[in-house]
Amino acid sequence: MKSLANIGQRLNQLVAQPAQPSDAAELLALGETALEHWVRAKGKEPTSDLREGYRLLALHRQGADKDPSFNACRETCRELVYHYNLLTMEPEHPESAQRARMMPLVARHLFLFISGKLESRELGDFCCASKPLREKVDESVPAQ
């Protein structure tokens, strides 16, 4: 499995280089791999199921289980699938070049969200929560 650092580097390359509709499959796969990292970090085996025809959406659902803050990337996942569909089903569409330009940015947003969450995954039930962190700090400070 690609490391998170490698996913980030590859996404930065894909954002910077001239966009190609043929990159759609790789971008979707990079999104899946980033989600796999999240699911594994939570101690689960990444699902191979499909949801609405896509593993990416099944992985997101698995990642959001008992962790509602993870739904903050639900629409980003859906946008990624949407762009994949647009680019693979209508590669010759006049808007394809623009869609291909946007898809790496959508994939990178998903990656940044997940990698940020992984860094601060001790931060609790909500993306803005700090409860477990505070509890750790409280534990280390003797009661007054």
Partner 1 sequence: MSDKKAKYQEVAYYPGCALEGSGSAYDTSTRALGKALGLKIKEVENWNCCGAMEVKNIDPKIQTYLSSRVMSITANKMNMDTVMVPCNGCYHNLKKAEYDLANDDKTAEVVDRLSKKAGHDTYQPGQVETIHALDWIKETIGEEGLRERVKNSLVGIKIANYYGCMYTRPRHIFPEKDAGPGSESTFKPHFMDDLLEAAGAENVEFPLKTACCGGAHTLSDCDTSTLLVTNILQAAEAAGAEVIATECPTCHSGLEMHQIRAEKTLGIKTNVKIIYFTQLLGMALGLKPKAVGLHENISDSFDFVKNKGLA
Interacting residue with partner 1 among 14, 24, 73, 87 (CB under 8 A): 73
Residue 4 interacts with partner 1 (CB under 8 A)?
Answer: no
Phi, psi (5° rounding) for residue 19?
Answer: -70, 140
Return d(Cα 71, Cα 89) in angstroms, integer: 27
Which residue pairs, CB below 8 angstroms and at least 24 apart, start in 43-51? none
Residue 74 interacts with partner 1 (CB under 8 A)?
Answer: yes
Pick the closest to residue 33 from 1, 11, 62, 8 (CA basis).
1
Interacting residue with partner 1 among 1, 41, 50, 133 (CB under 8 A): 133
Name the one range near partner 1 by CB under 8 A: 21-29, 30-38, 45-53, 78-86: 78-86
Interacting residue with partner 1 among 42, 72, 85, 91 (CB under 8 A): 72
Interacting residues of 6 by C-beta distance below 8 A, sequence separation 6+: none
Closer by beta carbon to partner 1, 58 or else 86: 86
- Tokens representing 87 are 């680019």
Residue 15 interacts with partner 1 (CB under 8 A)?
Answer: yes
Residue 108 interacts with partner 1 (CB under 8 A)?
Answer: yes
Residue 42 interacts with partner 1 (CB under 8 A)?
Answer: no
User: What CA–CA distances, in Å, run from 52 to 16, 31, 78, 95, 106?
Assistant: 31, 16, 10, 25, 19
Please report how close the Cβ of residue 90 comes to partner 1 at its closest, in angstroms.
15
Residue 57 contacts residue 51 (beta carbons within 8 Å)? yes
Closer by beta carbon to partner 1, 88 or else 130: 130
Which residues sit at the interface with partner 1, rule CB under 8 A? 15, 68, 71-76, 78-79, 82-83, 98, 101-102, 105-106, 108-109, 112-113, 115-116, 119-120, 123-124, 126-131, 133-134
